């Protein structure tokens, strides 16, 4: 190795070249840092349905989370009519944005006839504030609407290391003691039931468990997306106590699309579909929709790919029978389709639970798969800048924040 | 243009840039970084809708940042330990106690296996034990080349050894499989290859008389005793064990801080009073020594991120897993090793997980397939462009020969490991008794 150093071409040894390299690195670091800052501090907004009754925070269930990047808003819609309660969570894996967009469509259009609904669009807020290292994802995904564009972030699978670092060389799950890959210590869907005095991710998981217990949640829905080469794609996953309901819901959905259902493995710990059921009274349902974007053998990573889900390499893999859902490159797996699946998937899980357990009935409405198919996704997203919506705009951040209209206006002007 | 055509063009450009840079600059680290930058920039111009890659390139630097910090801290610990004279004392004690070459080689093999088995990183084994093991093995009459091979083979075996095998953990995490049932599936092949390696590399060497070795070895500091020798190692290994077996009672401090705590203990245990300036010089020299390796792991991250963004990683992955099964059997060893050389642990994600899913569809035993793949990937740790553990081994043991001669020396034990893994992969049913 020493010989290699000695033989190095003079070009790298020259002072001038070193200075040029340093300047280049400084410029890249500045512009790269600017983008990291933008992703960290971007605030998603939505126009809340008229039926919003209360905004709670995850820190209401574990005060230690207050002012941390794990705190996140929870929107409550209480019909005032006695019934069951539902908890719906998106973006616990923030690189699965169809899950948070599903929540936003619900939040903007929900009508609750009976019971109470809690919606948390950013399950792991910390994880949404960074890109996925190794994934090379774009920062944002934009949904076109009649009034313009609505922008959502594409985050990572795990919590941001700025908020929880370092990782151990292996992650030991609490309380089972099961060994998992080291990075799973920042994966909120591996840290349930969590600990009040554990790592920040474990604390956030614990707060969610507290929410389920204190609010006496009857139905708990965890929305995800999965790569199409992953066997559990396009599936409900549920423990024994809610598995048959998932089965009925899946059958109902077959009118529109294929949805499988699968039992939550008892030996794999830390996941919502296992621990939510074991450590609370809730009936858990985890839903996965096909997201080719997060497959590992894809072509170039672009925002268009995230939106349309079309990829030649995956088509080739599908030809060879390596995908777990049918995949046609002409149709892809577009965002509207994935969001539509989740909207109907959640609605069916609630409807069938209400059917089997009339004492915890929840009657709720929001746009379904067929509505999104007919009208498009943007149709159900409202303009936060429209005067009539001014009082209904909600900002999703890790602490209360006002809607920064100036910023949005400036950006729009810049684009024009 | 089709995705296949664009990504193939980009792949060819990247290979050409890497080859040219390697020849002109003689620096694999800078060559990898330039290749990543050029790939990302050309991709930006060729592919519609691609973001300008500045953030992606910076993000790539973070992929292996933890590993780089661990390398730095482990090196500081080991160099401080050597500087205190403890390493010399250990070597003298071992050589003085055991007269039999095979017993000493076996001990050295076990010493090498422990750090990597506990941390999942073969490079940590090289850092912590490589220097000591190399010294003792050399005194057993083993040639420089074979000594380097000994350290490397046991380093990669330590990475594959339970309880922590990162490739297996990554694949099981990707496939939602529990990380259970791997202990014997990994341990037995590792034991077989380990025994083979000791015999293969130790055969024919002649140990010098004990007295001669002790005379040649530098004297240990006068007040160096067993407590001063063992305490730093006990603290480091103790902290690692606590992380594993008392995880809920201790905070997560990570490997870098573990090694820094060990360094403080080394300083406290040093029988010779040293000045701050002297210790600072050791740290400064360590940074010089470890810098190329740190640059390598950071550059690999940039290259990996760039390959992902422009689809070259996908091209490699899809080309392999869509081959007929018989060709997969033929090439899996080659592909797994070279993927490890290019993508480090990313290999488990792009090749390991899809193959395990494929086995699941075919009704084969996925646990055994996963174990088999996890035994193949470590072989790539000596292959370009990254060759992290290979380079580190050569640096640590001070091997002065060409890298190619080192590769030739490790080839046979690597092939034995590969052959066992391949048989496990092709006929998983034969190995069910190990589950």
How far does B305 lie from chain A, in Å, by closest CA?
5
Name the residue facing A168 among B6, B48, B252 (closest C-beta): B252
What is the pLDDT confidence band of residue A405, given thresholds at 50, 70 and 90? Answer: low
CA separation, residue B406 to residues B146, B180, B334 (Å): 8, 35, 18
Find out whether A245 and A349 touch, Cβ atoms under 8 Å: yes
Q: Which of A154, A179, A201 to mutate to test the interface with B (most CBs of B within 10 A)?
A: A179
pLDDT of residue A5: 46
- Three-state DSSP class for B311? coil
CB contact (8 A) between residue A299 and residue B243: no
Strands (E), A90-192: 111-114, 116-120, 140-145, 148-153, 171-172, 179-180
Q: Is the peptide bond before A116 cis (omega within 30 degrees of 0)?
A: no
Tokens of A414: 């810049």
What is the pLDDT confidence band of residue A3, given thresholds at 50, 70 and 90? Answer: very low
Burial of B60 (0-12, 13-18, 19+ CB in 10 A): buried
CB contact (8 A) between residue A316 and residue B318: yes
Residues lower than pLDDT 70 in chain B: none
Structural domain includes residue A394:
yes
CA A354, CA B421: separation in Å to the nearest integer?
52
Q: Which of A12, A297, A307, A321 to mutate to test the interface with B (most CBs of B within 10 A)?
A: A297
Structural domain includes residue A403:
yes
CB contact (8 A) between residue A174 and residue B163: no
CA separation, residue A1 to residues A4, B134, B289, B290, B355 (Å): 5, 17, 10, 12, 37
CA B311, CA A257: separation in Å to the nearest integer?
30
pLDDT of residue A1: 42
DSSP string for residues in A340-356: HHHHHHHHHHHHHHHHH
Tokens of B50: 């691609």
Tokens of B381: 């740790």
Q: What's the DSSP call for residue A398? A: S
CB contact (8 A) between residue A300 and residue B310: yes
CA B121, CA B109: separation in Å to the nearest integer?
16
CA B49, CA B64: separation in Å to the nearest integer?
28
Find out whether A133 and A161 touch, Cβ atoms under 8 Å: no
End-to-end alpha carbon distance in chain B = 48
CB contact (8 A) between residue A169 and residue B361: no
Q: A232 contacts in B (CB within 8 Å)?
A: 176
How many CB pairs below 8 Å do chains A and B form together?
220
CB contact (8 A) between residue B248 and residue A195: yes
CA A360, CA A349: separation in Å to the nearest integer?
13
Residues A65-81, buried b or exposed e (16+ Cβ, 10 A)? beebbbbbbbbbbebee
Q: Is the pLDDT at A181 greater than 90, yes or no?
A: no
Q: Which residue of A has its CA nearest to B303?
A: A134
CA B380, CA B341: separation in Å to the nearest integer?
5
CB proximity A290 to B under 8 Å = no
Q: Which of A3, A154, A181 to mutate to test the interface with B (most CBs of B within 10 A)?
A: A181
CATH number (domain holding residue A276) = 3.40.630.10
**Chain A window 51-110: which residues touch B at a Cβ cutoff of 8 Å?**
none
Q: Which of B38, B162, B248 to mutate to test the interface with A (most CBs of A within 10 A)?
A: B248
- Pick from B69, B59, B65: nearest CA to B308: B59
Structural domain includes residue A11:
no
Find out whether A303 and B49 touch, Cβ atoms under 8 Å: yes
pLDDT of residue A411: 59
CB contact (8 A) between residue A36 and residue B169: no
CB contact (8 A) between residue B59 and residue A131: yes
- Three-state DSSP class for A19? helix
CB atoms within 10 A of CB B46: 17
pLDDT of residue B276: 95
How far does A291 lie from chain B, in Å, by closest CA?
15
Q: B55 contacts in A (CB within 8 Å)?
A: 31-32, 35-36, 131, 139
End-to-end alpha carbon distance in chain A = 55
Name the residue facing B119 among A3, A36, A169 (closest C-beta): A169
Count of CA atoms in the C-beta half-sphere (13 A) of B13: 21
Q: Which of B314, B320, B346, B354 to mutate to test the interface with A (most CBs of A within 10 A)?
A: B314
Q: What's the DSSP call for residue A47? A: E
pTM: predicted TM-score of the whole model, two decimal places: 0.89
Q: Which residue of B has its CA nearest to A186?
A: B252
What is the extent of the structural domain holding A282?
18-415
CA A56, CA A59: separation in Å to the nearest integer?
8
CA B375, CA B194: separation in Å to the nearest integer?
13
Q: A169 contacts in B (CB within 8 Å)?
A: 118-121, 164, 240, 243, 254-255
ipTM of the prediction greater than 0.90, yes or no: yes
CB atoms within 10 A of CB A398: 25
How far does B309 lie from chain A, in Å, by closest CA?
5
CB contact (8 A) between residue A168 and residue B27: no
Count of CA atoms in the C-beta half-sphere (13 A) of A143: 29
Quote the number of domains for chain A: 1
- Pick from A366, A215, A203, A190: nearest CA to A282: A215
CB contact (8 A) between residue A28 and residue B254: no
Mean pLDDT of A203-225: 98
Tokens of B58: 């910076």
The distance from CA A160 to its chain's CA centroid, rounded to whole angstroms, is 14
Q: Is the peptide bond before A258 cis (omega within 30 degrees of 0)?
A: no
Structural domain includes residue A301:
yes
Q: A313 contacts in B (CB within 8 Å)?
A: 3-4, 311, 314-315, 317-318
Q: How do residues A115-146 score in pLDDT, each as one tens digit? A: 999 999 999 999 999 999 889 999 999 999 99
Find out whether B60 and B304 touch, Cβ atoms under 8 Å: yes
**How does strand A116-120 pair with strand A111-114?**
unpaired
Q: A181 contacts in B (CB within 8 Å)?
A: 166, 169-170, 172-173, 179
Tokens of A269: 């710990």
Tokens of A95: 């690189």
Q: How do residues A341-383 score in pLDDT, each as one tens digit? A: 999 999 999 999 999 999 999 999 999 999 999 999 999 999 9
CA separation, residue A215 to residues A82, A85, A280 (Å): 14, 8, 11
CB contact (8 A) between residue B173 and residue A181: yes
pLDDT of residue B297: 80
CA B125, CA A121: separation in Å to the nearest integer?
44
Residue with tokens 């699309």: A257
Residues A270-281, buried b or exposed e (16+ Cβ, 10 A)? bbbbbbbbebbe
CB contact (8 A) between residue A231 and residue B360: yes
CB proximity A29 to B under 8 Å = yes
Q: How do residues A296-325 score in pLDDT, each as one tens digit? A: 889 999 999 999 999 999 999 999 988 999
CA B353, CA B251: separation in Å to the nearest integer?
31
User: Residue ranges of the alpha helices (H) in B161-275?
Assistant: 166-175, 183-202, 210-216, 226-245, 254-269
Find out whether B377 and B348 touch, Cβ atoms under 8 Å: yes
Q: How do residues A57-113 score in pLDDT, each as one tens digit? A: 999 999 999 999 999 999 999 999 999 999 999 999 999 999 999 999 999 999 999
Strands (E), A79-178: 85-89, 111-114, 116-120, 140-145, 148-153, 171-172
Q: Is the pLDDT at A263 greater than 60, yes or no?
A: yes
Q: How do residues A72-85 score in pLDDT, each as one tens digit? A: 999 999 999 999 99
Q: Is the peptide bond before A254 cis (omega within 30 degrees of 0)?
A: no
Q: Which residue of B has its CA nearest to A21?
A: B30
pLDDT of residue A408: 56
């Amino acid at each position: 190795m020493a010989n290699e150093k000695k033989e190095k071409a003079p070009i790298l040894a020259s002072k001038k070249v070193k200075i040029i390299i340093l300047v280049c690195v400084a410029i890249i670091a500045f512009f790269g840092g600017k983008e990291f800052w933008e992703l960290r501090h971007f605030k998603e907004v939505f126009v809340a349905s008229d039926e919003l009754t209360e905004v709670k925070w995850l820190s209401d269930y574990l005060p230690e989370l207050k002012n941390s990047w794990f705190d996140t808003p929870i929107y409550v819609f209480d019909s005032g009519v006695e019934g069951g309660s539902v908890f719906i969570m998106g973006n616990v894996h923030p690189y699965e944005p169809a899950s948070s967009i599903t929540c936003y469509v619900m939040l903007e259009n929900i009508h609750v006839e009976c019971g109470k609904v809690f919606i948390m669009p950013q399950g792991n807020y910390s994880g949404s504030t960074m890109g996925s290292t190794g994934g090379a994802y774009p920062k944002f995904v934009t949904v076109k609407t009649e009034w313009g564009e609505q922008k959502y972030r594409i985050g990572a699978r795990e919590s941001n290391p700025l908020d929880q670092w370092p990782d151990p060389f292996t992650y030991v799950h609490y309380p089972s003691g099961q060994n998992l890959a080291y990075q799973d210590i920042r994966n909120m869907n591996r840290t349930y039931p969590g600990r009040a005095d554990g790592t920040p991710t474990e604390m956030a998981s614990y707060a969610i468990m507290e929410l389920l217990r204190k609010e006496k949640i009857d139905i708990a829905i965890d929305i995800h997306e999965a790569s199409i080469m992953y066997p559990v794609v396009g599936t409900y996953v549920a423990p024994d106590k809610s598995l048959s309901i998932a089965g009925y819901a899946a059958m109902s959905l077959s009118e529109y699309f294929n949805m499988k259902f699968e039992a939550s493995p008892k030996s794999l710990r830390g996941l919502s579909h296992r621990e939510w059921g074991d450590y609370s009274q809730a009936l858990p349902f985890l839903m996965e929709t096909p997201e080719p974007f997060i497959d590992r053998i894809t072509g170039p990573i672009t925002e268009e790919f995230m939106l349309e889900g079309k990829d030649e390499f995956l088509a080739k893999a599908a030809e060879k029978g390596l995908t777990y859902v049918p995949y046609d490159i002409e149709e892809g797996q577009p965002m509207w389709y994935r969001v539509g699946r989740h909207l109907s998937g959640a609605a069916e899980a609630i409807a069938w639970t209400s059917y089997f357990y009339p004492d915890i009935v929840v009657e709720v409405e929001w746009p379904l798969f067929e509505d999104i198919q007919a009208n498009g996704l943007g149709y159900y997203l409202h303009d936060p800048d429209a005067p009539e919506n001014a009082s209904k705009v909600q900002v999703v951040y890790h602490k209360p924040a006002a809607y920064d209209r100036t910023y949005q206006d400036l950006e729009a002007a810049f684009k024009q | 243009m089709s995705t296949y055509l664009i990504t193939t063009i980009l792949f060819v450009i990247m290979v050409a840039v890497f080859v040219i840079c390697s020849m002109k600059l003689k620096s694999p680290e800078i060559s990898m970084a330039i290749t990543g930058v050029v790939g990302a920039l050309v991709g930006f111009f060729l592919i519609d809708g691609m973001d300008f890659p500045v953030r992606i390139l910076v993000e790539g630097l973070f992929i292996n940042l933890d590993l780089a910090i661990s390398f730095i801290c482990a090196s500081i610990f080991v160099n401080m330990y050597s500087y205190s004279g403890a390493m010399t004392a250990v070597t003298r004690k071992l050589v003085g106690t055991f007269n039999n070459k095979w017993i000493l080689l076996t001990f050295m093999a076990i010493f090498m296996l422990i750090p990597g088995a506990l941390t999942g990183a073969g490079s940590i084994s090289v850092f912590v034990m490589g220097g000591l093991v190399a010294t003792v093995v050399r005194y057993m009459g083993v040639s420089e080349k074979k000594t380097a091979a000994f350290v490397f083979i046991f380093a990669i075996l330590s990475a594959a050894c339970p309880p922590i095998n990162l490739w297996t953990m990554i694949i099981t995490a990707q496939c939602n499989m529990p990380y259970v049932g791997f202990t014997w599936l990994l341990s037995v092949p590792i034991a077989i290859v380990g025994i083979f390696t000791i015999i293969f590399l130790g055969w024919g060497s002649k140990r010098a008389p004990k007295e001669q070795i002790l005379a040649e070895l530098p004297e240990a500091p006068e007040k160096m005793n067993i407590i001063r020798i063992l305490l730093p190692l006990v603290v480091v290994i103790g902290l690692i064990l606590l992380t594993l077996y008392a995880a809920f009672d201790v905070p997560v401090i990570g490997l870098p801080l573990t090694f820094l705590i060990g360094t403080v203990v080394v300083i406290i245990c040093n029988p010779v009073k040293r000045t701050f300036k002297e210790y600072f010089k050791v740290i400064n020299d360590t940074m010089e020594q470890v810098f190329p390796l740190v640059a390598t792991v950071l550059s690999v991250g940039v290259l990996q991120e760039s390959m992902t963004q422009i689809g070259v990683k996908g091209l490699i992955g899809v080309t392999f897993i869509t081959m007929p099964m018989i060709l997969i059997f033929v090439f899996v060893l080659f592909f797994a090793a070279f993927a490890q050389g290019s993508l480090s642990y990313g290999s488990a994600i792009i090749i390991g997980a899809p193959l395990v899913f494929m086995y699941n569809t075919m009704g084969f035993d996925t646990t055994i397939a996963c174990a088999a793949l996890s035994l193949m990937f470590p072989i790539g740790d000596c292959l370009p462009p990254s060759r992290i553990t290979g380079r580190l081994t050569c640096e640590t043991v001070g091997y002065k020969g060409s890298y190619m001669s080192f590769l030739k020396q490790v080839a046979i034990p690597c092939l034995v490991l590969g052959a066992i893994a391949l048989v496990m992969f092709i006929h998983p049913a034969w190995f069910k008794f190990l589950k």
